[in-house]
Structure 1
Amino acid sequence: MLAIHARYRGREIRRAELVRRSARALSTLEGVGEFRSLGVEDICADVASPEALCDTAMALLSDGSWAIGIGVAPAGDEDTARVAATASLSSGARAGAVKVRLRPAGSTLAADIAAVFSLLGHVLAKRTLEGREATSLVRSGLNQNEAAEELGISKQAMSQRLQAAGWQAETAGWQLAVNLITRADAGSGH
């Protein structure tokens, strides 16, 4: 079982409303259960697959205002996964931090998963608006030619934007995170 807990760490004055809107939006991602509010700044959801978990974590990291906790527990034990995700976040967790807790504990996979997300967060934080637009279109399923046409730029300009945005590093990191979470999920008795 997989779960994700997110704690808003941004500076929005109307944070409760922003957190509620974010929970609704994140709940529409494929493979993500309904996010539940756990107070003014905290939301938590069960996640169906390592891919869905990575997509959700990437969405939160892209925003730059969330601390993220990930919990992995044996199949059928949603409560343990949720508790692990919540317990992984300390009260002082900073925006962009990703903490991971595995049940049963005992491997280095939790630290490895957190490290991959730290690197991905760095790539995402350095991205320009143009880079975010380009990667968003390609991530949504468009090829480079279609994305370039959508933005009204040349294929070469699209290629340059993707390169400057760290697209290759993002896709490699995303796949590594999926692989590590898959191993952790299998190791938890799945």
Structure 2
Amino acid sequence: MIVLTVDQRGSTRAGDNVPDLLLRLESWTRGRAGLNLAFERTVGDEVQGVLDGTADGAELAVDLTLDLLRDQGWSVGIGVGSVELPLPKVSRDARGPAFYRARDAVERAKSRAKGVSVAVEGPGGAGGSSRAREIESLLRLLGAIRARRTPQGWEAADTLASLADRPGRQKIAAQALGISEQAVSQRVRAALWQEEEGVRPVVVRLLAELAEQGGATSSAPDGATEDDVHDERGDLEP
């Protein structure tokens, strides 16, 4: 499964933005497949949600991460691996390697600059660790692209994203924005929007593959799996 742990940046200066974030997360996830446990505050300025390890869950995880990075007020940790089943009603009561990895990941993400403050932790065996780093690098690249996007670039990107992918989409976007089709094309090129759209499904696929490798459950009755022991000792890569 996939666990997202999100921590507010600079909360002592900005105040508590968690209630607003939870409302936005509820809106972003409404009607979307792949969510197992809704996001909730766990401790302090931190929220956590649980997504399934399918393509739907991976796509939702990537979309939410990029939305959170765009806000630039949050650090995002993605933990991939097994969890103890059955899942409890709330994520703060859940256990398993995926949760420990999400905790390690968000701690690493906090040291990153805003807009790219994301980290990914996955199973260490069979290349899982290197796959997690690949996903992390691609997410940071997309975050950096989006962090440099101008308001005009975002206006074009958001308008195009709201339209069905079919011929003539840029013309429709131009009409909606009240600008020429050529101006839309210029904004799209400057915003690297098409490049982002090309990379995003690659990240989703890699994350879904990593989640499939990680498994869904912890088999030990008390949850004391070998992965748990390694995670609690901090033996995973920092």
TM-score where L is the length of structure 2: 0.71
Kindly provide the amino acid, as one letter, of the partner of residue 48 in structure 2: C
Give me the whole-angstrom Cα distance separating, in 1, the residues matched to 2:145 and 2:177: 22
Larger radius of gyration: 2
Unpaired segments ≥5 residues, structure 1: none
Give me the whole-angstrom Cα distance separating, in 1, the residues matched to 2:10 and 2:153: 22
Give me the whole-angstrom Cα distance separating, in 2, the residues matched to 1:147 and 1:74: 43
Q: 1:62 to 1:76 in 2, by over 3 A?
A: same
Matched, 1:34 2:34: no
Q: Which residue of 2 aligns with 1:171?
A: 197
Cα contact 2:105–2:120 (8 A) shared by 1? yes
Q: 1:158 to 1:12 in 2, by over 3 A?
A: farther
After superposition, residues 153-172 of structure 1 pair within 5 angstroms as: 153-172=179-198
What value does the CA root-mean-square deviation take over the aligned residues?
Answer: 2.2
Could you tell me which of 113, 134, 139 is aligned with 2:161?
139
Give me the whole-angstrom Cα distance separating, in 2, the residues matched to 1:12 and 1:154: 44
Give me the whole-angstrom Cα distance separating, in 2, the residues matched to 1:34 and 1:50: 15
Q: Deviations over 1:97-142 (max 9, x none)?
A: 211111x323211110110011111101110001111111222235
Q: Matched residue of 2:134: which SS?
A: helix
Q: Which residue of 2 aligns with 1:45?
A: 49
Identity %: 29
Q: Matched residue of 1:69: which SS?
A: strand
Q: Number of paired residues? A: 188
Kindly provide the amino acid, as one letter, of the partner of residue 158 in structure 1: V
Give me the whole-angstrom Cα distance separating, in 2, the residues matched to 1:59 and 1:98: 12
Q: 1:97 to 1:38 in 2, by over 3 A?
A: same
- Pairwise CA distance, 1:179: 1.4
Give me the whole-angstrom Cα distance separating, in 2, the residues matched to 1:46 and 1:2: 6
Q: Matched residue of 1:36: which SS?
A: strand
Q: Which residue of 2 aligns with 1:2?
A: 2
Q: Which residue of 1 aligns with 2:70?
A: 62
Matched, 1:89 2:93: no
- Pairwise CA distance, 1:2: 1.1
Cα contact 1:5–1:42 (8 A) shared by 2? yes
After superposing the two structures, state which structure 1 stretch, 175-184 or 39-48, moved more: 39-48
